[in-house]
Structure 1
Amino acid sequence: MDDEPMWAADRVVASTPGSVITIPKTANEFTIKGNHLTLVKGNQFYGGIKTDPHKHIHESFEICDMFKYRDTKNEAVRLMMFPLSLTGEAKTWLDELNEGTIKTLDELRTAFISQFFPLALFDRLLGEI
């Protein structure tokens, strides 16, 4: 029985969760270039205390803007690629958000910065100065 494929056995399979980020429909009409994926994966944010979420989001969007996809707005590319730029704690944070939580770049930026550069950290750093 252990060697049987999952669909052949009498097992319950969890449904695939929906996406946290709502991607505009036009984004489904193109394929991401391999070198684009390499650049994004090479600039991953893991969420450590000494990492800069402002810098990451800026660099992530800059990478997305280097490539143009016919009839697709940069906002769609940015929203689609951003999850791939996360790893570790940052990826876990995104995966734990409710489905459809993020619909715009502003919502993405606000949620990301709020999580990884909270006001309390800002106040503490300001106090240290």
Structure 2
Amino acid sequence: MDDEPMWAADRVVAPTPSSAITIPETKNEFTIKGNHLSLFKGNQFDGRIKTNPHKHIREFLGICDMFKYRDTKNEAVRLMMFPLSLTGEAKTWLDELNEGTIETWDELRTTFITQFFPPSSF
């Protein structure tokens, strides 16, 4: 029994959760360059009370609009990149949404703003 490989043992493997965001199919595959990624990572939203989700969205869109990815629509890029702009509580919030909850940029933006700037905070 001790000579069996580790992967042969009976064990339960938890499935990898799928994303709440459904990414639309793109005509061509494309690569996000490292310097583009660093811009998104440098503008992360953590979900804390004193952070402004409207400002985050404005800055996120500004970064997205700097780059064009051939035949890929901006909406697909936004949906793919937005999770990388979140950290802490905000990332946890997105990770805990049900699979396939969000299908468009407008849905993502509205859900995000409602979560982190609810009408009750006016």
Aligned residue for 1:26, secondary structure, equals coil
TM-score (norm 1): 0.86
Q: Which runs of no fewer than 5 residues in structure 2 stay unpaired? A: none
Aligned residue for 2:75, secondary structure, equals helix
Look up the match of 2:38. Answer: 38
Aligned residue for 1:18, secondary structure, equals coil
Q: Is the 8 A contact 1:27 1:77 kept in 2?
A: no
Distance 1:107 1:114 in 2: 10
Look up the match of 1:126. Answer: none
Look up the match of 2:76. Answer: 76
Residues 25 and 39 of structure 1: CA distance in aligned 2, closer, same or farther (over 3 Å): same
The aligned amino acid for 2:89 is E
Higher helix share: 1
TM-superposition CA deviations, 1:23-60 (whole Å, max 9, x none) = 11107711111111000000000001110000101111
Question: Is the deviation greater in 111-120 or in 59-68?
Answer: 59-68
Distance 1:118 1:9 in 2: 48
Look up the match of 2:91. Answer: 91
Look up the match of 2:64. Answer: 64
How many residues align? The count is: 119
Distance 1:80 1:49 in 2: 25
TM-score (norm 2): 0.91
Show the 5 A alignment for 1:1-129: 5=6, 7-26=7-26, 29-122=29-122
Aligned residue for 2:94, secondary structure, equals helix
Residues 118 and 20 of structure 1: CA distance in aligned 2, closer, same or farther (over 3 Å): same
Aligned residue for 2:21, secondary structure, equals coil
Residues 28 and 87 of structure 1: CA distance in aligned 2, closer, same or farther (over 3 Å): farther
The aligned amino acid for 2:91 is K
Residues 21 and 27 of structure 1: CA distance in aligned 2, closer, same or farther (over 3 Å): farther
Runs of 4+ in 1 over 4 A off after TM superposition: none
Aligned residue for 1:66, secondary structure, equals coil
Distance 2:65 2:113 in 1: 20
The aligned amino acid for 1:25 is E
The aligned amino acid for 2:62 is E
CA RMSD of aligned residues (A): 1.6
The aligned amino acid for 1:72 is T
